[in-house]
Amino acid sequence: MMQRAPDPFGQRLALAVRRIGSPVCVGLDPHPGRVPTGEGAQAALDFCRGVIDVVHDVVPAVKPQVAFFERMGWQGVRALEQVVQHASDAGLMVILDAKRGDIGSTARAYAEATLHTADAVTLSPYLGPESLTPFQEHAGKGLFVLVRTSNPGASLWQTETGAAEAVAEWVQSQALATMGADALGDVGAVIGATVPEEAAHWRDAMPNAWLLVPGFGAQGGTATTADPLFRADGLGALVVSARGVLYGDATQDQTDYRAGVRLRAQRLAATFAGKLR
């Protein structure tokens, strides 16, 4: 019996956003020294599982930051795989923030490592389209290509008339080729919420692409700066907050962080809940 091909990522994400009612994503960043459950891979696993348990009915997706797990060696990699599985079992879509970018067999190996369980991955396009196509071989998976990131130094290279524009053109062409019923494709772009003066340009440049929008909260992005990145129907952008949801102030009760995480996730979700049409 032939196995049914997975539904396109872009359409699955649209359905998930509509089901929850808010286009937001919680970043899973177990910062050393800030995880309330302690230090090490097991503590990071326990923390992220706890976060997932209290946000799975509040947001449609989570975004584990691979580096915070890899720094802990094989135990961290194993913890990351368990986090991805726990999130998937809870009904969340999982976007691995790995920012991979290489060519040939190395790119193919990176694709297998990141997409065998996760729904999508972030990618660096600096080596050109051949560094991205191996990831497209995984049917039903999503790619978020770095186009205009939220860090201050990005403006030196990621300009509207330079390399970023060329990458955006490629993203739009691939989004068109894979779009589903909501006219959103499997290939999207990372556009920071910290560049509001450019937001409308990038939305217009990639009308059929999902935009992953970091920089909200701790980096200064706001609902106002993110607003032009959404389509008129409220789809097309997925706003990310990690530190702003995960970590409270210095007086946060370290024995029960879940209540604070859930409250902050609910506030974030409510901020964008009215966008969906």
Contacts of residue 85, defined as CB under 8 A and 6 or more positions apart, other chains included, come to 117
| CB 257 within 8 Å of CB 50 | yes
Mean pLDDT of 171-182: 94
For 11, what's the count of Cα atoms within 13 Å in the CB-facing half-sphere? 12
| pLDDT surpassing 50 at residue 1 | no
For 130-169, the pLDDT digits (tens) are 999 999 999 899 999 999 988 878 777 877 667 899 999 9
Catalytic residue among 63, 99, 141, 275: 99
Residue with tokens 């589903």: 180
| CB 119 within 8 Å of CB 93 | yes
Q: Is 63 a catalytic residue?
A: no
Q: Predicted confidence band at 58 (pLDDT cuts at 50, 70, 90)? A: very high
Chain-wide mean pLDDT for the chain? 91
As its CATH architecture, domain 9-275 has Alpha-Beta Barrel (3.20)
For 87-125, the pLDDT digits (tens) are 999 999 999 999 999 999 999 999 999 999 999 999 999
Q: Which residues of 156-176 are buried (b: 16+ CB within 10 A; e: fewer)?
A: eebeeeeebbebbebbbebbe
Query: Which of 119, 109, 35 lies closest to 72, judged by CA?
Result: 35
Mean pLDDT of 214-243: 86
pLDDT the model gives residue 256: 82
| pLDDT surpassing 80 at residue 217 | no
pLDDT the model gives residue 4: 47
Q: Which two tokens stand for residue 241?
A: 């907050």
Q: Hey, is 90 helix, strand or coil?
A: coil
**Whole-number Å distance between alpha carbons of 104 and 245:** 38
Domain extents in the chain: 9-275
User: Which residues are paired to 160 by β-bridges?
Assistant: none
